[in-house]
Structure 1
């Protein structure tokens, strides 16, 4: 079982690494595309920042997915080379990843729904009138076509993969 557990952990680590790098590389262009879409709809660019919609990722923000990637790769290596330590570390890391990571990655899988819901609840009438799908689609069009399937894959690995890892570790 350590081989299966490590494979899932390495795969999850790769998704965090690749998605983090893609977000950093293409995020500024995605931000500009979202801002263009908002202004095309007749709203000020600031409406996005006022409602915490940000596509661009800073170098500091890139450190989180890279850090998670390193932790998961280290954990996978431990599960292969020092299974007892790897098992204990897995029991510490994967419940956190399952809950916190599942929530965060769900927001990235269901971005349009989450942002639409936030804008609908807003007291700002302009926010309620924004075509969120158009804004997110404009931003998404800037990113590589493989990014969306990778985001979904990461969500599955973080949630179902972590649950499976915990089940396999328990056995």
Structure 2
């Protein structure tokens, strides 16, 4: 049963690593698309850089998913080794992963309102004028269609489904 949990945890780790890999590969295109949209709206595109807004794999777009992947690899290795710590570590780490992914989904669903609020909080009058929905749609279109449509859903399915599998394995162990 712990082998199944370890396999699920490895798949979850790969799902999280896909985030910075995709942003590293396609983030520049999303940045260009977002800047074009700002220009269309009459907002200087430099305002993004001036306020530290990027679509690449910098900052939390790398350290957070890589950290989550590392937690899953540690738990998987402990499960494969049948270590005495495997079960309690898996309970804790898997719960963290499940909650983190719920927050990620929530963040994705509320992106327009949260980015609008973040722009207003910056106090930059140019950012306050941005049509955030159009801005985010343009940035999304800077990524290949399969990223937003298929990879995002696949990643959430793997993380939620794999987490449930791991928790079921722990309950039945």
Aligned match of 1:150: 151
Q: Distance in 2 between matches of 1:106 and 1:156?
A: 15
Distance 1:133 1:17, change over 3 A: same
Distance 1:115 1:63, change over 3 A: closer
The number of equivalent residue pairs is 171
Please tell me whether the aligned partners of residues 30 and 139 of structure 2 are also in contact (alpha carbons under 8 angstroms): yes
Structure 2: stretches of 5+ with no match in the other structure: none
Aligned match of 1:137: 137
Deviation at residue 33 of structure 1 after TM alignment = 1.6
Deviation at residue 40 of structure 1 after TM alignment = 0.8
Distance 1:155 1:107, change over 3 A: farther
Aligned match of 1:28: 28
Q: Which shows bigger deviation, 87-96 or 24-33?
A: 24-33
Counterpart mapping for 1:64-83 below 5 A: 64-82=64-82
Q: Which shows bigger deviation, 137-146 or 56-65?
A: 56-65
Aligned match of 2:91: 91
Deviation at residue 76 of structure 1 after TM alignment = 1.9
Distance 1:41 1:121, change over 3 A: same
Deviation at residue 117 of structure 1 after TM alignment = 6.2
Q: Distance in 1 between matches of 2:157 and 2:49?
A: 29
Q: Distance in 2 between matches of 1:54 and 1:86?
A: 38
Distance 1:95 1:88, change over 3 A: same
Deviation at residue 2 of structure 1 after TM alignment = 1.9
Distance 1:125 1:59, change over 3 A: closer
Higher RCO (C-alpha 8 Å, min separation 6): 2
Aligned match of 1:10: 10
Deviations 1:9-42 (A, max 9, x none): 1221111112211112222331222122112111
Q: Distance in 2 between matches of 1:121 and 1:58?
A: 22
Aligned match of 2:102: 102
So what's the TM-score if we normalise by structure 1?
A: 0.75
What RMSD over aligned residues (CA atoms) do the two structures have, in Å? 3.2
